[in-house]
Every structure is written in structure tokens, then in C-alpha cells.
Structure 1
Amino acid sequence: MQNKSVNWTGVLLLLGVFAALGGGWLYKTSQGHASEHGRRTFAIELPADKFAKLERPAVLFDHEKHTEALKDAPCAECHRQDKDSGALLFGVIDPDKHTTRKAITDAYHDNCIGCHKERGAGPMACGECHVRNAPESAPWHSMELSLEQHQKHVAAMEDKCEACHHDYDERAKKLVYKKGAETSCRDCHREAARDNRPSMRLAAHTQCITCHMNREKQNAATGPVQCQGCHDEALKLPALMDMSRVKRLNRNQKDMPLITVNDNKMKPVPFDHKNHETVARNCRTCHHESLKACSECHTVQGKKEGGYVRLSEAFHRATSERSCVGCHEQVKKQTTCRVCHESMASGPVETACDTCHSGEKGAPAAARADRDPNEVIDWALMYVQDFPEDIEVKTIADKYEAVPFPHLEIIKSMNKLLGGNRLANVFHGDRNVVCAGCHHNSPMNARPPACSRCHDAPFDARDLSRPGLKGAYHQQCVGCHRTMNIKNFRDCTVCHKDKDAAMPTLAAGKKQ
């Protein structure tokens, strides 16, 4: 990604012109605009030291439109190429030649307007390119190299990791490959250029597209070279369920490292790294840019390298998608989990601490995670004698018939959902957890108190967390049906058989 003959600083300044060339799975931009065709355009970025104040608005460049018009012309028609590697350079400016404001302006006008005149197509007047109040759109869809996509690249390159992974040897002043020390591209290439390292955007587009184009010339399987091939919103990363089929990367990582802190009051955490790899899109899901252990950046007290995020927060902050607890919170937003957890407080609960902090030898969480995720843990059939099979709800029997509540069938349905969920297999080891989905704020046992024990009083404005019995039933039952998209929850008679056929329903917009 680096080359000693290229002035990366100069190239970077003009990256926005042709960043739309696409193809770098790790590319991210915030400069997307809508062209007249509804496609993305990119603002031409000029050197800030020479163009601190612009006389006209920046030009919004429609790369896709130009590639269609010049489909029979080589990319070098517009792009310069590196003399040594042949890699396309993003921008028409030669940083060694175009060093003044006038030289840069003339370079663009000579190249762009000159081409328009030669081909008899394209704008000529200033205001046709420098458009005032041009409409903006959402940026291109950012893409990341998932483990599945990485596996495709490994196969295509025949396990030659050095084709992409490299490090810069300061003494030799060249790029070298260190086996076993591979890291994320973003570990060196950040959002902006730094020292002699190009930005992630520039490095990815230069390296990836050049490789794709070279393989295309060799009639070998290759990746996209146009923007939409990588950055189209319609392109989706592989589902997490597909990640378990990806061959495991060998980075000398331990299957189950023991997470511990000196003088910690809690037991160590035997972290099942191997199983977590099967539900992560890539290593950066947890490790940010580098692949270092969490404790190297996040210390007990916090330090600059870790953004002063303490180790306890790095693992337990519920609002962070990178922390253990925060990641679990995201999973709990899925429909099958939300049906119960939506009415519960977010974040860790004390009863769950021992699930992870199980000690050096116990590791019950890892053992449960190793179970077949499709296994149905049939607590309901094992302990059917502990609870009633059917219940009659007679709360509003003065207006409606009593509601037959299929208690056992509902438990079986919930149980089936839990059995296919790996996270649930770990944290729902107690069979009574399934009962807590409805019997919240109650001791977890096979005989939780009836709903009326807590919701016996009518609605109390002083305690909004405890509605009356009628409100509790509707909040819990209707809420579950809404989340799971079960039945028409707006029609009372779906559950309540009407004593009077003329009785209006909520579906008709009337009060009960």
C-alpha cells in the first residue's frame, strides 16, 4: 500500500475526486451526493493550504457516469499510474509538478474541459460544474471485510498472506511481511494519512482495485472495480449464522484465554474465544484496529491508548456495541429475545455475573455454549407436573367470556426459541428462566406467584411500573403478540369471546 516513489500527501489531497472508483471493502466516506441520475457523486477536494477560500462551490464528480461514457477507454485516460507498481493514482495532479494554485486549477481545467471539448460532450461553462446549492444524499454504504470475504481472498491468493498484509521496516525503508504478526489494515492505515502511511480510504482503493483489475486482465476470478460493486446499499454482509461455516483464521490465538485482573474480587472469566469467532463479522468487531488483548489498551485505571476507557467499562458498558455486555444487549434486541427482554431493564444483572465469572476450572458458560445450538432444551416436558397446562383468565368476564390461556403451549414455544439461540443456551441454564419472561420481578422457581399477587390494585398513578391486573395482562400479552407479530392484537375478540355480538372492538376505534 506504500511506495517510496509516490508522494502520498499530494495524492491524498485529491482523493475525493476519484474515490468513487470503489472496490476497497474497508472504504468509508461521508462525501456522497446525489447526481441527476440518483447516483453518488464526490466533491473534488483541493489542497487547503492553497485553496483556503473557494471562489466557486466544489465540483461534484459523478464517477459512474464517466466510466459509462468512457467504457472503451482505459482507466489511465484520467488516472495517473505509479511508475513502479502500475497502481492507479487518485487524482489528475502530479504533486511534484503542480505546486501552485494556478497550476492545480489549470491541470483540472485542461484535463476535464479539454476532454469534454475533444469528445463534444460534457459541461463547458463554469456554473455547469461548480453548481451552487447542489442536492446532497446519504453517503455510499460503508463496507468492511468480513471473515467470509477474507476467506474468499485467502483462497484466491492461494494462502499468500503477504499479497495484502505487510509492515514497514524503518531500517530497510521498505514493506516487509511478518508471518504470524498479521493485523487489521486499519492498525496502520487510519481515517487520515499519518507520517508516510496513506489513509485507509486511499490504501484500500489503490491496493484492492489495482489487484482486481490485474486479475481481470489475467482472466482470473476477481472482485468489483466500480463503486456500487462494494458500496451499494443493496449489498449485505453475510448473516451471522453463515459465519460459523467460515474456516477459522490461525493467528495463534488461544481457544479459551483466562481473563483476570490482579487483586480482583471477582472470579476470572474463561473466555470462549473460539465460539465468539463464529458470531463475529471480523476481528475488528471486538478488537478495534489492532488485534491486541483488551487489557493492553484498557487498563484498570484507563489510559490514553484506550481512550481512557477502563477495563471494567470495556467489558461491561451496556451502551457500547464493542463491550461484552453491550454486544449481548444488541442480540437481545432481536425479535426472539426482545419478546421477553423488552419489558426488562437493560444491562447486566447480578444473577448473571457467575455465568461469565465462573473461575479458572469451572467454565460452565463455555460448556453450555458448546452444545448444539439447534438443540431444544425441553424444560417444559421434563417438568410439566410443576405448572398448570391451561389457565382461565376471568379479569373482565363481566363483558367477555373467560380467556383460555394455553400455558404449556406458550412455554413450549418460548422454549423452542431459546433452544436455537447460542447466547440463551449460556445464560438461560436455569429452567426457570423461561418462566421469568412473563413472571418478571419474581423469584425464579417452578411456582412463581400469580399475576394478581402483585397487580391486585387498580391503576396507581404514583407507581407507573405496577399497573392493575387488567393493564398488566394487556401490556404483557398484547406486547408479546405485537413483538412476535402474532394475531390481530387490536381486535379484542381474537382472545375474548364476545358475550354480546354487538359489542364494539378496538379495531372499530371504540372503547371497551
Structure 2
Amino acid sequence: MENGRKLLRGIALAAIAVIGLGGIALFASPSQAAETRPDVIRIDAIGQLKKKLEMPPAVFLHDEHTKALAAAGQDCSVCHTATANGHTVKFQRKDDGTDPKKLEKLYHNGCIGCHENMASNNQKTGPLDGECRACHNTKLPYKAEQKPVKMGSKSLHYMHVSSKAIVNPANPDANCGVCHHVYDEQLKKLVWKKGKEDACAACHGEKAEGAKPSLQTAVHTKCVWCHENVAQSSRAYLTAQAEAKKAEAPKGKKSAKDVRAEAQAEAAAIEAAIVTGPTTCAGCHTEAAQSTFKRISPVPRLMRGQPDATVLLPVNSAKRPEGAPEAGMKPVVFNHKAHEASVDSCRTCHHVRIESCTVCHTVDGNKDGKFVKLADAMHAKTSDSSCVGCHQQTVMSKKECAGCHGAVPVMPADSCATCHKDVKGITSAQIADGSAFKLSKEQLADIAAKNVAEEPAPAKPLPAADIPETVTIGVLSNDFEPCVFPHRKIYEALVKGAGESGLAAAFHTSPTSMCAACHHNSPVEGLKTPPKCASCHGMQADKMAADANKPSLKAAYHQQCMACHDRMKVAKPAATDCAGCHTPRVK
């Protein structure tokens, strides 16, 4: 243990929160009553060398060691070797090597040696030599649980973009290069290329590839190292200020107790004034911590050379594989700026790389696009990255929209023309012969901008005065009095709910669009004077109607009203409160 005593004079700390490289992986206790913690990890480096273990991997509580180390004035280098880009994520080494015994000795000398040093100084410490099961125990009452941090969030990202504490040596006016980089093959090093910034996951995968670390390792080393550096710089600055202020203060005779108290108060004030990001597992990966993250709204637009709008050209004979049928779809003017304002992250659409969908997704699908065809990438209803799928989730997540769209499909048969339509500045001949595909990014942006500027105003809903104030439904009245339906009140509530939605403005293309959910399966144009429900729904459901999923009139009324109330979270009347809508008839 003597080597360990010489090696570690502080408290063992891993400054990288919940990492899965270098023999440290997530550990979850099988106990149902386990304490949930974000910093529960297990040390399994020897097992990863294919060495048969005599004991289970050691369980390590990361934040407990972090707190103890901070109290002793120590930093990450106690356990992690410093490098030019931060710290290694491995314990006191840069690689595992191939000798299990050497690795075992490294951990035991380091961890137990540190504990024994503390014990010899009468300090509270962790397990000592011989107390193997205190660490190598699969039944400890801890369960790992980490809430992912969404760095792609526009608010969190902008906080870093606008931070004065983050300075890019290559360009002090744009700090993007502090985090974003690409590998330059000629220079054989990481460099910042303006306009090429992308998500970390665009290059870093789940596992390390050669010299390229895994996503988890890359993010933790970069983020925690930066936070530590900012904290150290801030601490040094505040300490210097405090010393200067102390030197100017009049000298007076003070007791040793007063001097200690002032020093402690000064140190506490300095630590409280330091502004930096989290350096512990719990500081990032818990619901409570993330709820304290500053929220900026509205977030200034983050520019990466993207156009305000562009034209998405259809894949036709000029781009389709030889022998494939013509596509025949019209182009789409995509308002990029409007969509940016509606999502919290670029990765909502650009889920892998910030490039055109066609870079990965082809007509017939390929390995790079995980065999997701281009048409499905745009129109798959179950994908949160496709246009249609995102629209579907958006309307169903808002109670103002879900009431109607639970009954009306987001993409009815005639809705293609809402997006796919003629574009001024590009002819069908240019699309057919492929010359449209030769237009530059700037030309497409200019054409799109002109089309956006000339878009007609959204269709206005019918005036409330044109809507009957009430509708009496009495055709089925027997045990109850006829139901007086507050038709206008409900219509106005639906119009108000959709009023601020850009999605509704784009897709509610008729003044009677708001009527289509209740008066379904009728032409939208004629809904100002819609047919009665009894025109289609009979008093009793016959076999033919049942096969066509057409309920009886009574079932249709209740299904329509109660389901809508449920989706819109209408508390009153409750679905089971018959008298809330129907006054019981006195017999």
C-alpha cells in the first residue's frame, strides 16, 4: 500500500460524471428499495480484459468522493491524469494495458492506500485493506438513474454561445470553436471550421473508434473540464480581489478565532460567487438539477449559414435510379426560419447530422440512412423526425388541437397539396429535365423567400355570428330531456385554441376547417350547412354499418363528445356524468 500512499495524498475522485469507458460502467442494484442516485458506477476494468473475476466489480459513489475532494482543496488530477484536452476518464492511466494484475494493484494501491492515509490521520474514510465486500458487493442499496442532458436545447446552447467565460483563441468574437471541431487530415489535429459546426453525435458514436473517443467520454471530458477551468479562473480572480481589498483595509488586532472565522467566511463567499457549470453527476443528471437551469426565452436565432427558406425538390427521373417510375410530386417551399422558432433543438429534424435529408436517405434506402427511404423520412407518421410524424405529435400533445385531431387524421388524402404545390421561379420542365437540381443553395433560398413573401393570408374561420348559438339534440330523448348543445361556445373555444398555431394557419385552408372534426366525412366546402348526423348513423347499428366502423346514432354522439372531452381534458361535464349534459326526464 506504500505506493498508494505516495500516489494519493488526497481523496479519490473521478471528476467525470457517470462514464462508461476505462472500466467504469453503470451499476444498478437489484434491490427494489434501492436508493436512486445518478453517480452509482462500477469499476470493471479488469473484467473487460477478459480476466475471470474472483470478486464482483467494485461499486463507486462518484459524488461522495467529489464532495470530499473539494472539501480538501483537491481537484480531478488526484485520480485522473491531465491531458491537453482535459483529463483521461481512466483511473491514473491513459490506457488499460493487458496485465490484469497490474491494473488490480493500481486500483487497490490508489483507493485503499488513500483510505489508509486518511485513517492514519484520524479522518473519516472509506473501506480499508481486508474489507473487500464493502466495495465488491452486488447487493449495495444503490440504483443508478441518470436524466440525460439535452445540450441541443436552444436555451442551454445559447447560454454557452453568449458566455463571456468561453473564449475561442481562433476567434474571440465567436466561441463556437471551443466546443465544435473537425479532424483536419493534413494538419493531423482537431480544428474549428466556421459554418461546419455539428452535434457531437455526428462524429462520436456509442463506442470509441481508434483515437476517437465515445460520445459519452467526449462530452464528459469536454464539459466537466471546461467547467472546472472556468471555476478555477473565477476562483483565482475573486481570491486576488479579496486579497487586494484586505490589503487596503485598516489593520487591527484580532484574535486567532476571529481570523479563522473571517477566512472561512471569505472562502465561502468566493465559492458562492463562482459562476460555472456543474461538475458533479447530480449537478447535471437529475430532474431537480435540470429544473434550476436558466431558461432563456425567446432565444436569439442561432445562425450556421442556414437559409430563411429553401425549396425541397421532388425526386424525379433526374434523381431516381434507372428504370424506376416517375415520382410526379411537386416541390415544397420549406420555411426554415418558422420551423426553427417552433422546435427546441436543431436535432428535432437533423437527428444525426446538420445536412440535407438526402445525404443519408435515398429513394430506395441504404445503410447510411438505416434503410429508411426518403419518402418515409418525410412522411412516416410514427417518427418524431419526419415532417408528418412531428406534426402528428405536435397536434396530439396540445389539448387545444387533440380534441379534433383524435378524430381527424393529421394527413388526410387531400392534404399533400398543402405542401407540394407549384413554386414560382421553378417550372415543371426544369424539374422533369433535372436542371432544377443544378440551382445553387443561394438561388433556391432566393426563390423560396419570394414564394414565402407572396403566400396568401391564412384562411379565416367562419364568423361566430354565422354559427348557431345552440343546437338541440332530441331525436333520441327518452329517459332524458333533449340535450341543448352550446354550439357557438364550443366553436369559439376551438378557434381560439388554434389561433396562435402556425401549423393550424398552414393546414386549415378552408373557413370551415374547424368544423371538420365533428362533421366528419363530409366535404369541407359544404360544412357551413352540414348534414345531420342521422344522415349516416342509424338508430340501430346494422351489420353493414358495423363492418364499415359506423356506430349507431347514440354511440356516435357519445363517442364523439366524450372522446373529445377526454382528449381536451375537459373536467366538466365528466364522461360518466349523464345529467351534466342531459336533464333527467320526470315521469
**TM band (smaller chain):** 0.7 to 0.9
Q: 1:21 aligns with which of 17, 31, 40?
A: 17
1:129 aligns with 2:135: yes
Q: Is the 8 A contact 1:300 1:311 kept in 2?
A: yes
1:143 is displaced (CA, Å) by 1.4
Show the counterpart of 1:400. Answer: 480
Show the counterpart of 1:88. Answer: 87
1:482 aligns with 2:566: yes
Cα separation, 1, equivalents of 2:453 and 2:291: 29
**Range with bigger deviation, 35-44 or 252-261:** 35-44
Cα separation, 2, equivalents of 1:32 and 1:483: 39
**Range with bigger deviation, 152-161 or 128-137:** 128-137
Q: 1:450 aligns with which of 510, 532, 536?
A: 532
Show the counterpart of 1:508. Answer: none
Alignment CA distance shift 1:349-1:136 (3 Å): farther
Show the counterpart of 2:76. Answer: 76
1:284 aligns with 2:347: yes
Alignment of 1:422-433 (within 5 A): 422-433=502-513
Q: Is the 8 A contact 1:270 1:366 kept in 2?
A: yes
1:137 is displaced (CA, Å) by 4.2
Q: Is the 8 A contact 1:32 1:139 kept in 2?
A: no
Alignment of 1:7-406 (within 5 A): 18=14, 21=17, 31=26, 33=28, 37-40=35-38, 41-46=40-45, 50-73=49-72, 74-76=74-76, 78-85=78-85, 87-95=86-94, 99-120=98-119, 121-124=125-128, 125-133=131-139, 137=143, 139-145=145-151, 146-156=153-163, 157=166, 159-219=174-234, 221-234=275-288, 245-260=298-313, 261-263=315-317, 264-334=327-397, 335-345=399-409, 348-361=411-424, 379-381=461-463, 384-385=465-466, 387-406=467-486
Supply the AA of the counterpart residue of 2:403: V
Q: Is the 8 A contact 2:228 2:279 kept in 1?
A: yes
Cα separation, 1, equivalents of 2:394 and 2:188: 46
1:135 is displaced (CA, Å) by 6.1
Supply the AA of the counterpart residue of 1:476: Q
Deviations along 1:146-172, whole A, 9 cap, x unmatched?
A: 122111111113522211111212222
1:498 aligns with 2:584: yes
Deviations along 1:187-233, whole A, 9 cap, x unmatched?
A: 22121111321111111111111111111122263211111222112
Alignment CA distance shift 1:308-1:109 (3 Å): same
**Range with bigger deviation, 331-340 or 40-49:** 40-49
Show the counterpart of 2:246. Answer: none
Show the counterpart of 2:240. Answer: none
Q: Is the 8 A contact 2:537 2:551 kept in 1?
A: yes
Supply the AA of the counterpart residue of 1:305: D
Show the counterpart of 1:419. Answer: 499
Cα separation, 2, equivalents of 1:389 and 1:30: 64
Cα separation, 2, equivalents of 1:308 and 1:96: 36
Alignment CA distance shift 1:181-1:83 (3 Å): closer
1:295 is displaced (CA, Å) by 0.9
Q: Is the 8 A contact 2:537 2:556 kept in 1?
A: yes
Alignment CA distance shift 1:138-1:323 (3 Å): farther
Any idea what SS the aligned residue of 1:270 has?
strand
Supply the AA of the counterpart residue of 2:302: L
Show the counterpart of 1:441. Answer: 521
Deviations along 1:24-76, whole A, 9 cap, x unmatched?
A: xxxxx983536964323112232565235333322232112222333313133
1:485 is displaced (CA, Å) by 2.7
Identity between Structure 1 and Structure 2 (%) = 37
Q: Which runs of 5+ in 1 are unaligned?
A: 1-16, 24-28, 502-512
Deviations along 1:403-430, whole A, 9 cap, x unmatched?
A: 1111111111101111121211111121
Show the counterpart of 2:323. Answer: none
1:235 is displaced (CA, Å) by 5.3
Cα separation, 2, equivalents of 1:222 and 1:480: 47
Cα separation, 2, equivalents of 1:257 and 1:304: 27
1:332 is displaced (CA, Å) by 2.1
Alignment CA distance shift 1:262-1:201 (3 Å): same
Supply the AA of the counterpart residue of 2:187: A
**Range with bigger deviation, 262-271 or 357-366:** 357-366
1:355 is displaced (CA, Å) by 0.8
Cα separation, 1, equivalents of 2:187 and 2:212: 16
Q: Is the 8 A contact 2:41 2:144 kept in 1?
A: no
Q: Is the 8 A contact 2:424 2:451 kept in 1?
A: no
Cα separation, 2, equivalents of 1:97 and 1:483: 55
**Range with bigger deviation, 202-211 or 46-55:** 46-55
Any idea what SS the aligned residue of 2:287 has?
coil
How many positions carry a matched residue from both structures?
Answer: 470
Cα separation, 1, equivalents of 2:88 and 2:474: 75
Alignment CA distance shift 1:97-1:365 (3 Å): closer
Q: Is the 8 A contact 2:149 2:285 kept in 1?
A: yes
Query: Larger C-alpha radius of gyration, 1 or 2?
Result: 2
Show the counterpart of 1:4. Answer: none
Supply the AA of the counterpart residue of 2:308: D
Cα separation, 2, equivalents of 1:370 and 1:194: 52
Q: Is the 8 A contact 2:202 2:352 kept in 1?
A: yes
Supply the AA of the counterpart residue of 1:148: S
Alignment CA distance shift 1:69-1:19 (3 Å): closer
Cα separation, 2, equivalents of 1:238 and 1:284: 23
Q: Is the 8 A contact 1:243 1:280 kept in 2?
A: no
Q: Is the 8 A contact 2:155 2:296 kept in 1?
A: yes
Any idea what SS the aligned residue of 2:70 has?
coil
Alignment CA distance shift 1:114-1:182 (3 Å): same
Q: Is the 8 A contact 1:32 1:140 kept in 2?
A: no
Cα separation, 2, equivalents of 1:238 and 1:371: 41
Deviations along 1:418-452, whole A, 9 cap, x unmatched?
A: 11212111111212111111112222122221111
Any idea what SS the aligned residue of 2:36 has?
coil
Q: Is the 8 A contact 1:20 1:226 kept in 2?
A: yes
Alignment CA distance shift 1:464-1:70 (3 Å): farther
Cα separation, 1, equivalents of 2:420 and 2:78: 59
Any idea what SS the aligned residue of 1:404 has?
strand
Alignment CA distance shift 1:225-1:267 (3 Å): same
